[in-house]
Structure 1
């Protein structure tokens, strides 16, 4: 297929064409020509005046399959990802059985091979995700796992984290440690703050997150290795990670798009779609997260996409499961808080961290591209949800800009 991007605004700070407007010709999955003006002769599709960047990467998604296909199948999850602008997604081991073997990693890759987007499995850090014994980390890495972590489960045993960081160093493995002290959290369901108290909901102190962040960074300083802290939510976590980076520790972190957008004031409605982990925090913490995006302390933004069927969410707030979907909303939310260039950096930064090849926009390069626009706004409705599960915190929220489509794996995927 020959695709011509006419008057494309290129956003790619690794490309000599960054912040320029060019025509781009793509043939058989490769960029063959970039020029001020190209003719549309012998082209199958012409796309006018789109913004274009390297394909976006989401560092934390859950698709359910195998085991929880009623929440989201791999097929529909991958379709949702590519229509949301992502050409690479890191899939959490929130499956049944837990993805803790090389065979499980290879199954995910094989089952998703024909999509425009590419799936990159995160292997479980421990056998069965039980937090007791390390899983077959090296074997999974050889099979294609890009990192190791037990989704939303903290590493309760500090020595286990120490051993994991030591064990993964020879092969460059990345350890994920979800920051949440379950003893401090207790039976909490929302942020410990005046809003939760007023509503009579049990609180989760910021301390539950910050204690684990401080512990993990101390262990990392002792052992070396590579650590990724997913979905931080407090100002103190930002400060701790900034200090660790200043020391030269090999640590990255992410923030979930829901924690970046909402404060705990939305809990007024007791809508269980706002029940997420880490919980939605108060205004001061949310503002600190937004500021950390510009400062480079937060390395990338994730949807933290977690489809849950209605039986798990349509119940009393205390009893509902934690989690929201969000793939469809990452661009529409993030573009409200940072510049277009910074947003693209936050959506492509995970590539290098997790060893996924990058393809700067240049003649002869593989076409792995996201097409988008930062212009316009709309209200997100339930009918806009592409996921099988509908547990979205973003229904009724204002989105800015739009995703036009992706070009990857020799495929063109366009939104209506």
Structure 2
């Protein structure tokens, strides 16, 4: 057990290395569909909608793959089914990539102990292909549904009520809070609560003008800036301090810049999953300040989306873009300050894992 926990960073890096192609392929396709749709939203019909669907499918597999290959790194192939299915459940209950990391580690621990169960020799051949995947999936899936899922629902309800109770009296403070929430899990429950709050505000209209109020537009501008700061910040950091990122992360950084421009915050997830203690705080600080700056300087956004793609429809578009640059720069500076240079041998770990995976298939 202790040996498993000591190798947590290596296990996370293995999961991230297998996840990155799904993030890049899915995120870029979704970004392209939004970019060419001519509006700050996912197209709902036609050829571009099909491309968006492919992209969303790729992003939807991101968390299950992360979870599955964290478990695979811990306990080999018996961990794949519990890990991937646990990751799918994490997506279903809205736990995001943090839930995926948890389900992967949980699957690895559960399978580790299941492999220690002594059974008659006549049943030993069934352990890796039947008994362990079945029992492991049931235990991990049950814990994700019944133990993890319900608190997440209560958390989302409590956060929504808290935001509503805050009101809009001090928009800058509200912008700091919403920006931090958006960047904390990049698509998870906390992010969804903040984005849903902003979208609901835009959906309300001033009874005199029939248009969204300036307060609602300001809140959505702050959220839109916060959405794109993590991928833009991580992309900039990987360009200006390449010695602190693996070769895979540097490639992901280029894709993250594109996804950030069109408001897809998932582009930063490979960085956050690989090094959460440094990257997530950097994302939170940059997004919070960028969000508050957009509100303070008077930006407004009528579109429930983020990134530079909404700049043409934003109020004070230059201010809006400036706020994204401020937030992304702070995130990039912070993560470069916190991260240590990458050890030269680190990129080889994922290659070794891949070779071991292929070797096992040959043995089978």
Q: Tell me if both proteins adopt one fold, taking TM over 0.5 as the criterion.
A: no
TM range (shorter): under 0.3
* Higher percent of residues as helix: 2
* Higher percent of residues as strand: 1
TM-score normalised per structure 2: 0.27
